[in-house]
A and B are shown apart, each in its own frame.
Chain A
Amino acid sequence: MITQPSSFRKTPKALVEATLVAAICAMAACSDNNHHDGSTPVTPPQTVTISGVVAGSGFVPGSTTEPTLKPGYYQGALVCVDANANGKCDADEHPATTGSDGKFSLDVATVGALIADIGTTATNTATGAANPTRNVFRATLEQVQEQQADGVVISPLSSEVTRLMEANGSSYDTEKQNLATRIGVNLAQVLADVNDQSGATQSAMLTEANALTQRFAYAVTKFDRGDKYPDALAVAGGDPELTGMAGVTAATATVPETRLPITFAQAQQAAFNVEGIPRYDAIFIIMLENKATKSILDSAFAPKINAYLQEGNQSTSYYATGNPSEPNYTALGGADDFGITDDSQWNCGATGANAPEDLPLPTSDQPGLASSPFNGSCDNAVNHNVKARRNLFNAITAAGMTWRTYNESMNPGQDIRTDSVADPAVMAQDNVYAPDTVGGNSSTVGNPNLVLPLPGGLYKTKHHPGMAYQNVRSAPEFKFSNRTMGGGQWDNVLKNSTKYTIPEGYDFDQLGTDLQTGDVGNLNFVVPDQCDDMHGITVKGTVVGSGATGTASDCSGDAIITRGDNYVDYVVKKIRASDLWKNPQKKVAIVIMFDEGKATSGFNSCCGWNVSNSTVAQPLKQNTDGSWAVDDSIANYNHGNRGHGESIWGVLTNQPDAPKGIKDSDPYSHFSFVRTLQDMFLLADPAVDGSYMNRSKYTEKFIAENILNLPEYAGSADTHFDAVRPMNHAYVIPADYVEKQSGDVANEPQVGPDASQANIWALKK
């Protein structure tokens, strides 16, 4: 609230404020010195006092359900009008300091936009912890004027309104409304004190405040650090740091370094566009299985996926990183397969220091798990239980965000850590396809009289991107975050299950429920069963009447492509029918991708790969001085990460103004995608190589700088191809460059750059 000088002299801070007035009067705004001769009474300066709070959120790790986010204030933060717009409360800006209740009272000559400069000596009262890194929240002039009567609330949300106004050249009212719409709270509350809210409104505000706090802290870090702008790997054309650098292919490192130190205003936006990857609220990654690009692209068996590819954007040179499934999913979970080169159970070879910690193992002798197929001991020369390695799941959780894996066709009541089992009590009819619905079939495919009992292995742990990681299976939220997904052949009859006790209130389609309630994760892996994901298993049943044995019409052969095509269509439509998707202020993406191709010839992989038949690859570990050394602790590592060809990869977004129909042919791999996700959710910092997990840090520059420890990349004929980069389409392919390919694509190699360099993740053109 604002008071007149006569009243503020009565405040307990009179002495301080008198000094402040004197200081203010030293400035041009009070430069009328004509009466300062002692003979003429001084006209009290026309200052105003702005009161309010600096509010925020605090994250408390360890929740077994949703992240624990608490409301609070910043104690010891400086509040000022940032007159010189340097993103700091300088001494000559006479900042007020917030008290233990987060309150400030600031005297200024005129009402202006405010900043809260939150240093590392400030305390977040939500957690009682010191603020870990300098942060700045802003509040616009319009907001200050609007709230001046009741107290101004400077918060991550107020700062976001400011940022959006600058980004979009729009008004306060517009962006305030957009933010309210975005997080689903009333306009009157969106910039209010989160501490005064409750229920869903408070929860929504805290969730957003938590994410924004990290973004704005990162913006300040970039600014204070003097980062160049934009990020190196977001520079149009290519990374300018590579030009003239030893150990990189000169023909593809041609962009001059012209970047300048980032400004405060640039940093504000850059923190929401790390390496050119915009912040998204939610991403759904639909995982399909084992199809080369040429098996899907333009296939008559996959008309719906092809329509989505056309409708959205594509990465047309997307490579798997392993073979078979488990290494690929593990790499999608954390940008490395850690020497896993088969589909063995997650406890295989896990002895000694690698022994599982999530005990007891889910074997059939455990209570309620009599039907478990889990083998309690599994000899294998290779450890399949990855310990103490970074991964997306732990990183998302540690940032106070959420992940989900939606898994189809689990047995109700089973342990998520085991494969599903056959259940003869769960019977479904064979899928029947009318003419012209399966690759141009002229007659009906399928037998309406064929009844198929639920086969075993529809759900497989090898297809869970987090399963190999001990730290994921042991995470408090592991059970909560693994969920069901319906819509398949047996899902409607899973209620007849007999293999495990069906838990009370069991939701057979949690994805459907979550899309209705909005309780999806930030990062969502959508994992169809082994028929709906095009993998294929043997599914046999009995023909009613004749008693003859029959095989499912569409869990093998080309028909399974159509089955998967239909399932993808089902999931995409379901997501797009949700309020989440329909809220354009929410940034939502759906990725349709395969774990691997076939790689029957040509290049097996790219972009962080263990170069074909290299015999020397080892992971790296960081020394205390920041340098890197070889980590030789992983058996079979050299056989991992070798790739398995190219598959289709498409992304749909809910952004109406986003560029569409973009084909990005710059090669990417699972490691690139994991790097992209780290950028998307601010899980890493491009200025700190080691902040990117595992092989996702293997940029062209990093490899060149660490070539002695990465001998698999020595002698490269094309260091760009070998290296990881985010999927941002910033790199421009040289005019005479001939595309490298696996045998999985049917098109002739592209020569030269893409038709458009638009970013497949861009939110607007």
Chain B
Amino acid sequence: MQKQQLLLTGLAALLAACGGGHGGSGTSGGTTPPVVIAPPTALSLAAQVGQKMFFDTDLSGSGRMSCATCHDPDYAYGPPNDLAVQLGGPELKSPGLRAVPSLRYKDFTPPYADLLDNPDGISVPGPGGGFTWDGRAATLAEQARVPLLSAFEMANASAADVVARLQAADYAGLFRQAFGDDAFADTDAAFRDALAALQAFQIEDSSFHPYSSKFDLYAGNKIGGALTAAEARGLKVFTDPDTGNCASCHYQGAGLNGSSALFTDFSYEAISVPRNADIPANADAGYYDMGLCGPMRTDHLPSVPGAADSFCGMFKAPTLRNVALRSAFFHNGVLHSLEQVIRFYNTRDTWPEIWYPTVGGTPRAQNDAGFPDYGLITVQYEGGTVQKFDDLPAAYAGNIDPQMPLDGRPAHSTPPMTEQNIADLICFLDTLTDGYQPPATTPTSGPCVN
């Protein structure tokens, strides 16, 4: 029953995605709501298998978790809740290590390379590409292996375990149809086919790349895409190297292979977001999740703990499409609202004490006037030392990206963005949410209008 519900949810998302796109032939009036012309593209047999698998809870050790459990179509194939890490495993009680990324707009992601050409054609090559927060999976198929076999996610004991479940699924016939009558004869081959099926579904199904946001109407010269004054200002903040500079990593321009406005350049940066105590693994003071240099990724591990390693602390810049649908941000899910994330970027350096713990100080009974209340720490301390960059060993502080808006400016100096900048930026980021339907009448007032 649950499986059926999930499948229906997925179909609803597909339909919604189809409905948000492109307009009809009557363009002369300027207010005609867009309608769909393009017929839905038929999925290949492999993609049809992948679609079944994606929503199949029987493919997990618990019998209650599918891909869609964490990658919920209603949340742009991201997490449907604000948990920093999701619970999985055989009993759905095992916490994960990182926040769940969205699976949308992954079809142009190249495999990881230490010196990937930047899609902007301007920036120097650097670490980029690949799947998961550390790029250790080269393809979507490889990425699918991770949750299927993870003890704290879908918790299959082995590839053979997955194949056995597939063989028992009601779509085993479809699997054979897609991959041959003897598709299950070789377990390794069948598992590879299963991963390929999941990849095919994500590549072929437009719900994974609907391009149906207001921004897409804007960038595609479509009716309904005119940005409001606030959104246009927000776009400027997003792009402006002297304020938001978001576009530097969340690249919104044309990329390779026909991609455009993916809002990521696939690159990796170290910005050292605060350590998240909500992740049980962090209870071990010696444990650090350092992205490219491990521990989950293993090819850039420091030779000994603390040894020089320019990859330590670097995590992938995710797409910002549908970012407004999220409620767990960054690789460790430490922040829970978009506004908070922007404020972190704006004040990590100017108000470090509201993001990182203070050690040795004394909490004040009352904060100074003007002490921000939007940080993770809302109590002002007297004395003590702020543990800035508390989730990255000090040896790797040099890896931290000095780009705006995180330019390392002194504490209590003026931050890069004004309150107006922040409000406008949020308005702009809201335009990146898929499924946008232009209002019948253009609003003349509201927070994101003027």
Instruction: Show the binding face of A for B, using Cβ within 8 Å.
Output: 245-251, 253, 290, 323-324, 341-342, 598-604, 610-616, 636, 638-640, 642-645, 704, 707-708, 711-712, 714-719, 721-722, 740, 743
Contacts and interface: CB of A to CB of B under 8 A. Distances in A.
Contact of B211 (A610, A613, A716): A613
Contacts of A716: 23, 27, 221-223
A640 B254 CA distance: 12
Given A714-B34, A740-B221, A599 B28 contact: no
B120 A598 contact: yes
A342 B28 contact: no
Contacts of B384: none
Contact of A342 (B37, B226, B251, B257): B257
A171 B358 CA distance: 95
B122 interface: yes
B50 to A, nearest CB: 18
Interface centre among A245, A250, A704, A717 (most CB of B within 10 A): A717
13 contacts: A247-B26, A247-B27, A323-B254, A323-B255, A341-B256, A599-B260, A612-B219, A612-B260, A612-B261, A613-B260, A615-B210, A715-B27, A715-B224
Nearest to B107: A639
Given A246-B28, A249-B28, A616-B38, A722 B254 contact: no
Contact of A290 (B35, B121, B251): B121
Contact of B38 (A601, A604, A711, A722): A711
Given A598-B120, A598-B122, A708-B37, A715 B258 contact: no
Interface string B21-40: 11111111110101101100
Given A636-B258, A642-B254, A717 B27 contact: yes
Given A246-B26, A600-B122, A714-B37, A342 B256 contact: yes
B243 interface: no
Interface in B204-243: 206, 209-211, 216-217, 219-226, 235, 239
B247 interface: yes
Contact of B253 (A598, A613, A615): A598
Contacts of A612: 216, 219-221, 260-261
A611 B122 contact: no
Interface in B86-137: 120-122
Interface in B121-171: 121-122
A665 B66 CA distance: 54
Nearest to B258: A639
Given A246-B28, A615-B209, A715 B253 contact: no
A460 to B, nearest CB: 16
A613 B254 contact: no
Contacts of A708: 25, 37
Interface centre among A600, A604, A640, A708 (most CB of B within 10 A): A600
A79 to B, nearest CB: 52
A611 B28 contact: no
B221 A611 contact: yes
B252 interface: yes
A598 B27 contact: no
Given A708-B25, A712-B22, A714-B25, A600 B256 contact: no
- 7 A-B pairs with least C-beta separation: A715-B23, A639-B258, A600-B253, A616-B38, A599-B254, A613-B211, A711-B37
Nearest to B213: A613
Given A598-B254, A715-B32, 8 more contacts: A342-B256, A603-B221, A612-B260, A640-B258, A714-B37, A715-B22, A715-B34, A718-B221
A250 B223 CA distance: 13
A611 to B, nearest CB: 5
A246 B247 CA distance: 38
Contacts of A712: 22
A74 B430 CA distance: 71
Interface string B70-88: 0000000000000000000
A712 B30 CA distance: 17
A707 B25 contact: yes
Contacts of B253: 598-601, 604, 645, 743
Nearest to B257: A341
Contacts of A253: 28
Contacts of A245: 28
A718 to B, nearest CB: 5
Nearest to A617: B38
Given A643-B254, A717-B223, A721-B221, A600 B27 contact: no
- Secondary structure of the B contact surface, majority rule: loop
Contact of A324 (B37, B223, B256): B256
Interface of B: 21-30, 32, 34-35, 37-38, 120-122, 206, 209-211, 216-217, 219-226, 235, 239, 247, 251-261
Nearest to B251: A600
A172 B121 CA distance: 58
Contact of B25 (A246, A250, A718): A246
A248 B247 contact: no
A645 B254 contact: yes
A626 to B, nearest CB: 20
A323 B258 contact: yes
Contacts of A642: 254, 258, 260
Interface centre among A643, A711, A718 (most CB of B within 10 A): A711
Contacts of B30: 249-251, 717
Contact of A613 (B27, B256, B261): B261
B28 A717 contact: no
Nearest to A610: B258
A312 B157 CA distance: 72
Interface centre among B21, B22, B23, B34 (most CB of A within 10 A): B22
A640 B223 CA distance: 23
Interface centre among A636, A715, A717 (most CB of B within 10 A): A715
A712 to B, nearest CB: 7
A253 B27 CA distance: 12
Contacts of A246: 25-26, 28
A249 B247 contact: no
A639 B203 CA distance: 13
A323 B122 CA distance: 14
Nearest to B108: A639
B22 A616 contact: yes
Given A615-B211, A717-B222, A598 B22 contact: no
Contacts of B32: 715
Contacts of B217: 715, 717
B176 to A, nearest CB: 25
Interface centre among A245, A614, A714 (most CB of B within 10 A): A714
B167 to A, nearest CB: 30
A644 B254 contact: yes
A704 B28 CA distance: 11
A614 B247 contact: no
Nearest to A716: B27
A715 B24 contact: yes
A717 B239 CA distance: 24
Nearest to A290: B121
Interface centre among A598, A601, A602, A644 (most CB of B within 10 A): A601
Contacts of B225: 717
A717 B221 contact: yes
A251 B223 CA distance: 13
A289 B319 CA distance: 29
A615 B206 contact: yes
Given A249-B30, A612-B260, A716-B223, A711 B22 contact: yes
A736 to B, nearest CB: 13
Contacts of B28: 245-250, 253
Contacts of A717: 27, 30, 217, 221-226
Contact of A247 (B25, B255, B258): B25
Contacts of A644: 254
Contacts of A599: 253-254, 260
Contacts of A251: 30
Nearest to A643: B254
Nearest to A250: B28
